[in-house]
Amino acid sequence: MLVDGAAYFAALEGALSRARRSVLIVGWDFDGRIGLRPDQPDAPALGPYLRSLVERHPDLEIRILVWSVAVIHAPGSPMQLLLGAEWQHHPRIHVKLDTEHPVYAAHHQKIVAIDDVLAFVGGTDLTVGRWDTPRHDPEDPCRRDPDGRAYPPVHDLQMAVDGEAARAVADVARQRWRVATGEELVPPDHEAADAWPPELAAEFRNIPIAVARTSPPWKGQRGVRESAALTVDALRAARTCIYLEAQYLTADEIGAVLAEALARPDGPEVVVVVTRRSHGLAERVVMGRNRDRLLRRLKRADRYDRLRVFYPVVPASTGECEVLVHAKLVLVDTCFLRIGSSNLNNRSIGLDTECDLAIEARDEATARAISALRDRLVAEHLCAEAEQVRACLADGNSLVATIDRLNVSSRCLRPLKIDHRPGPVTPVWVTSLFDPERPFRLLSPLMRGLSPLLRGRRRRRA
């Protein structure tokens, strides 16, 4: 479990250095100008670092697949994706924009697969505004984009897996590459060396991993909704506690399950850590208002005072600074954990392309590891130690009471105000346009007609 961007980027750098045949990167966005180690002044940017790897290893091929609309919608540099960059000018580096999606759908997966022996899956794209440490220091000089501009603290999660799970994730990436480019990639035909960085301690060993996907119906391919089905089943199975970290919380299907759980006399506690405010007009109007309406619905169902919704803050010279929650975490009791790219919104149910990894505890060691991650995350937000969280939970076995007891620092979890006044609980009327569960069927022919124009990239220099 890699908590926050600094841990993920450092582990990724170590794993990439061990790649010998294949690196597959699939992302919502990508920017080769970022550094994996901004805390090390002499470390190269990501793009030149990838170029150095293929020059060092003659059998290594690097393929990068990015959502086509990232060039106008995402924070990374559009010019490098559209026109190329010097580091891309190598016959064994391939950068492609993926136009094969329904209109308004996003390719939202965040995957790196190395030699079919190691894979990273989670919420973190290799782009600007993602690196941060668990301290989330507002004055951290390393948290700057390639143009030198500071960006706010950001919290995110990624999972590293090897073995059969890594091969399955690589298969997901190869399938995406085939649909996007028409090229059929063959898995590495050799027994690759272990790419797991030695400094990265494994928290789970010899356990099954679920790879859950989401993809919309497209050009004769059936849609896949594994992630949403898995999440709903896990939430319905909750007995004592549901802990969520979510950038968005708008999906009516998720809201219905949570409301049902809160209404039961013997239902679980529900603790949600979110970003306080949405950015951009469309996000504020649709994602923000729908989240507020869903929370109003949950509050009405919360007859036994088991619901808590927070946003994290850290102290700053000007008072306090909000932390952007970009994580997509579902943790149920001490028996289920899901980390990936799927938000708890409608788009992630059936419109966008997603990939999540999940673990179910079938033994005591796995249950302890899931509990340890929960304690570590709660402690990070409360400026506490995981041992303190664990001790408080042992006293009363209540996550709500534990947070109330430890939430005393200037770095803390602020309660998100939920409007108790009578008001609508159903989604706003433009939801089907901005946060739909399925593709717009009438506009699909238009998107297919525009695909050749969007796919165009300038020919690279020989």
pLDDT digits (tens, 9 = 90+) for 368-380: 999 999 999 999 9
Kind and range of the H or E run holding 462: none
How far is the C-alpha of 12 from the C-alpha of 41, rounded, in Å?
Answer: 18
Percent of the chain scoring above 70 in pLDDT:
91
Going from the N-terminus, what domains does the chain have, and what CATH number goes with each?
2-202 (3.30.870.10), 210-431 (3.30.870.10)
CA angle 197, 358, 114 (to 5 degrees): 35
Average pLDDT score, the chain? 91
pLDDT digits (tens, 9 = 90+) for 342-398: 999 999 999 999 999 999 999 999 999 999 999 999 999 999 999 999 999 998 879
How far is the C-alpha of 7 from the C-alpha of 3, rounded, in Å?
Answer: 6
Mean pLDDT of 63-81: 91
Mean pLDDT of 214-229: 94
Question: So what's the pLDDT on residue 460?
Answer: 45
pTM above 0.75, yes or no: yes
**DSSP string spanning 386-452?**
HHHHHHHHHHH--HHHHHHHHTTSSSEEEEPP---SS---SPPTTHHHHS-SS--GGGHHHHHHHHH
Q: Exposed/middle/buried for 242, CB within 10 Å: 0-12, 13-18, 19+?
A: buried
